[in-house]
Structure 1
């Protein structure tokens, strides 16, 4: 069979070029997205791997030589001309030179914990097994050699060896035991300060507000005052007991110290209680490093941030993001569905309805910061202040709902995303065949019953599509949240054991704002950079999981009502 030869014009008219063009564009977009995610994952997750600590002699012309103890962070090529402009002496035959960013730690000793070095001037490069890194609650990492461990000022273990001898290993083991003991005491202190004393302070504040309420209503009788004082005395007694317990714990946790030699040869004595963990990466095998890596990732997901958000974890931000998205979804779904049902099923399809649809579509394109300004002015200053005047007068002038919080942030984002839900729900209602409605009405059902039992269940996949789009947009928004409730560091979670348990008036942390703060407001840029990648990857994963849950529900509903659509 002879094939007919197709001309270029016929091939263009057939539409095949546009199919291939669209397929190529989609493929390029997918490759770019995967590449971006891989870049974020490598830069972010690589931060938790325990890098080796190198010791070397740095002898750069024109500057005094010194010993260098640090972790390698990154290496880059730089032109010799650029180095000469910076005042660094470089030999004439060099055109390009390699320089490395080294993390020297010990910020309390050197003032900065990062420095650039020229690789050519590094000599005597070694990786001693007894070099250790210690993560601290303040001042970043500590690098050096462990010399001694003390208890109440008395030496319990010491060594002068910088090789893994018996005395050096025994001193290291004593150091690790005291770190574990200090961490256990630290957990007890945290439990008392954060939860037990926090609950007492919360109860005392409620008593104060209750008394203030009696005073405002002129109902503070001697009997009421006696009851309040008796209740306050009970909490005061519990507080004194906890305070005494804290004094004992702080005395116990501060008894252990250790002596370390820094890279410049200086010797420092520090408290063990300031150490989060200590490890010797040069002596760790692959499995030991994997265990350390896993513990760091778990800490990142479950712990609170420290060191201006450049160390520790992001659990409060994860919790705040998920809680805000869930509240936003609960608020936006019924309002968006009710609006769409009215526009499609009840409103007369005239010019006024068309204007409303145009307005809804235009609202979807309004910049998010405009919603933030509206939320601040209307929800916080107007509604919040009115709620404080009506229901919380005893707390004034301190605002309760008259300031940014979880509730106002959720409502603001619900207002931002409601056009998406309306449009998606209307499209779903429009796809339902007319004979389905007529069949239900013919069987004796009212219009409301038909809508509730037949139309809305069949339109539920479209509703879930709108919810998915709303979640995808709201979870990554930052600009409006900066005005209506999100903060750099929240002292406590908005969900706890104190009545009413979910505190909608409290400020909260958010992953998107955390990325902005760490990336653009951190005083330690080099330390914050890997956390920007890690938090960005985590935000993408959180949004993907929320969307995946919604997609699963949508697919289930679509399969359930597929037979009704045929």
Structure 2
């Protein structure tokens, strides 16, 4: 036994066990997040309950079982709640999502099992996903197309009309965001152009006439597009569905407010799988709505990836140049040691400090100076002197710069000095040796630093709250208007979206599954970015492997 301990085998097994437990914990956490997030998209059964109130009257509830928990019976009886002869130690209560917000006080309701007189899962119960006021539950009584009630398979008619209305809504949104949005963008540019000419003293009668003529042309085009938009919206409002809700009342739902219609009690397993995949696709590609508690997260995905890629473009050259200087050119002295210590210490600075620095230096000083020099016509409204995606990328570039520098230096130190000496002996200059030999051989290490930088930057939230991220961004940083990349705009981020939905949401119960779904999506995005970078690194490693020999 003594020899076994001296051999070091116990420490090897302990290390292997610790690594295995860490992997199991991480995988378990990911599986838990995935399960709690993805189950939100599965079409749950809709139940109809007969519930007895404390006053003895019965009421009808229609909804989905959202959650359940066991509560000690004594706690409830001490609160004066009648458990109706329930003599077990615990009693189950269910959280039921009832929807129908405009007619019911609570979107979610806790119901004790002792109060449930009857529970059934009738066929024909429908769930309507709407653009506002959340889901609506009830029985489809009739479908009205252009004022005419339809007969036959109402579900088939409803699917057809919802698809038609959805196409019209998409067409209206595209017209409003693209063509009308482009005209509004040109109107703003004309206003700024007139203001710029006025500040320079060049606003003469000819310039005013040219600007006014252009505005008149744009106004004419705007009225034509506006009429088309109103016509499309009128067509989208044409049809409606009549639903009997849990109060027994008939309610008219305009189909221009209905995004989806499903009858989960009538669906088989295959249909549920297809609907599940369809809902995940909508979550990834749609815009958020209802204070981010419903809809998709596409702007947050785009903002996260766009900001991380911009950060990578900024941090890589600066990190590599700094590492090359420290390793290849700087003399081994106290100044170099101080620089290395400073780089290492920068890696330990709290991220919120970088956010404060970014707000003070990049936004107020640098951005304000850019506005005064290049955008005086827009003042006092800021252009770059306000938080935006560019300042967010620069702030995270500084935050992750030490990682790239240290990783690149380690890669440079692994390259044998004989390689450099051989290149110099053959007549190459030091710059040519670095560019053609050293940097290609160190490129896998550079990619390793970039991978670590991307992983950290994609998950940072605190500094972004100060330098560019917002709850809801009306426009993406990329569109069809020149110069196409609008680095001054604010953006949405998956990390901040998780914080906002989880802690700032007006409807906590509805938002809880979206927190897990968005967290799982953020991890997926980071893994995807890392896999891409790892693939590039492996390709570079194989490409320049011959140089190592």
- The TM tier, using the shorter chain, reads over 0.9
Structure-1 residue corresponding to 2:69: 76
SS in 2 for 1:107: coil
Spell out, residue by residue over 1:25-59, the C-alpha distance to the aligned partner (whole angstroms, 9 max, x if none): 00100111111111111111111111111112112
Q: What displacement does 1:224 show?
A: 1.3
Q: Residue in 1 aligned with 2:274?
A: 291
CA distance in 1, matches of 2:360, 2:57: 60
Would the aligned equivalents of 1:148 and 1:155 in 2 still touch at CA under 8 Å? no
What is the CA–CA distance in structure 2 between the aligned matches of 1:253 and 1:430, rounded to whole Å? 66
- For 2:486 and 2:77, the matched residues in 1 are separated by 59
- SS of the aligned residue for 2:362 comes to helix
For 1:501-516, list aligned pairs within 5 A: 501-516=484-499
Alignment of 1:515-554 (within 5 A): 515-554=498-537
Q: Is residue 86–residue 114 contact of structure 2 (8 Å, CA) maintained in 1?
A: no
Cα drift, residue 83 of structure 1: 2.3
CA contact (8 A) 1:51 1:71 kept: yes
Matched, 1:210 2:193: yes
- Residue in 1 aligned with 2:452? 469
Q: Among 129, 133, 141, which residue is 2:127 paired with?
A: 133
Q: SS where residue 485 of structure 2 aligns?
A: coil
Q: Where do 1:59-458 residues align within 5 Å?
A: 59-62=52-55, 64-90=57-83, 91=85, 93-151=87-145, 154-157=147-150, 170-458=153-441
Shift, 1:247, TM fit:
2.2
The answer as to whether partners of 2:370 and 2:384 remain within 8 angstroms in 1 is yes
The 3-state SS of whatever aligns with 2:395 is helix
**Alpha-carbon distance in 1 for matches of 2:156, 2:449:** 58
Residue range with higher mean Cα deviation, 229-238 or 61-70: 61-70
SS at match of 2:47: strand
SS in 2 for 1:514: helix
Conserved 8 A contact 2:73-2:88: yes
Q: Distance in 1 between matches of 2:155 and 2:261?
A: 10
Cα contact 1:62–1:89 (8 A) shared by 2: no
CA deviations on 1:41-92 (whole Å, 9 max, x unpaired) are 1111111111111112112544532111111122221111232344422246
How many residues are treated as equivalent by the alignment?
548
Instruction: Give distance in 1, aligned partners of 2:427 and 2:478.
Output: 48
Q: CA deviation at 1:249?
A: 2.2
Secondary structure, counterpart of 2:495 in structure 1? helix
Gap change, CA 1:564 and 1:181, over 3 Å in 2: closer
Q: Within 2, Cα distance between the matches of 1:289 and 1:280?
A: 10
412 and 267 in structure 1: CA distance in 2 versus 1, 3 angstrom threshold:
same
Q: Would the alpha carbon gap of residues 367 and 63 (structure 1) be closer, same or farther in structure 2, given more than 3 Å must change?
A: farther
Deviates more, 1:338-347 or 1:266-275: 266-275
| 8 A contact 1:417–1:473 mirrored in 2 | yes
C-alpha separation in 1, matches of 2:333 and 2:411: 20
Give per-residue Cα distances to partners, 1:424-469, cap 9 Å, x unaligned. 1111111111111110010001111111111111111111111011
Q: Conserved in 1, the CA contact under 8 Å of 2:494 and 2:522?
A: yes
Distance between the aligned counterparts of 1:85 and 1:485, measured in 2? 51
Q: Is the 8 A contact 2:315 2:397 kept in 1?
A: yes
TM-score (normalised: structure 1): 0.94
* Greater mean deviation of Cα atoms: 390-399 or 102-111: 102-111
Change in 2 beyond 3 A, CA 1:63/1:382: farther
Mean Cα deviation higher: 265-274 or 321-330 = 265-274
Q: How far apart, CA to CA, are the structure 1 residues paired with 2:404 and 2:112?
A: 57
Root mean square deviation of aligned Cα: 1.4
Answer yes or no: is the 8 Å Cα contact 2:370–2:385 preserved in 1.
yes
Q: How do 1:1-80 residues align onto structure 2 when only pairs under 5 Å count? A: 8-62=1-55, 64-80=57-73
Describe the SS at the equivalent of 1:68.
Answer: strand
The 1:214/1:23 distance shift into structure 2, 3 A limit, reads same
State the Cα distance separating 1:209 from its structure 2 match.
0.5
Q: Which moved more, 1:86-95 or 1:438-447?
A: 86-95
- Give the unaligned 5+ runs of structure 2: none
Do the aligned residues in 2 keep the contact of 1:519 with 1:525 (CA within 8 Å)? yes
After superposing the two structures, state which structure 1 stretch, 385-394 or 101-110, moved more.
101-110
SS at match of 1:150: strand
Residues 87 and 183 of structure 1, relative CA distance in 2, 3 Å threshold:
farther
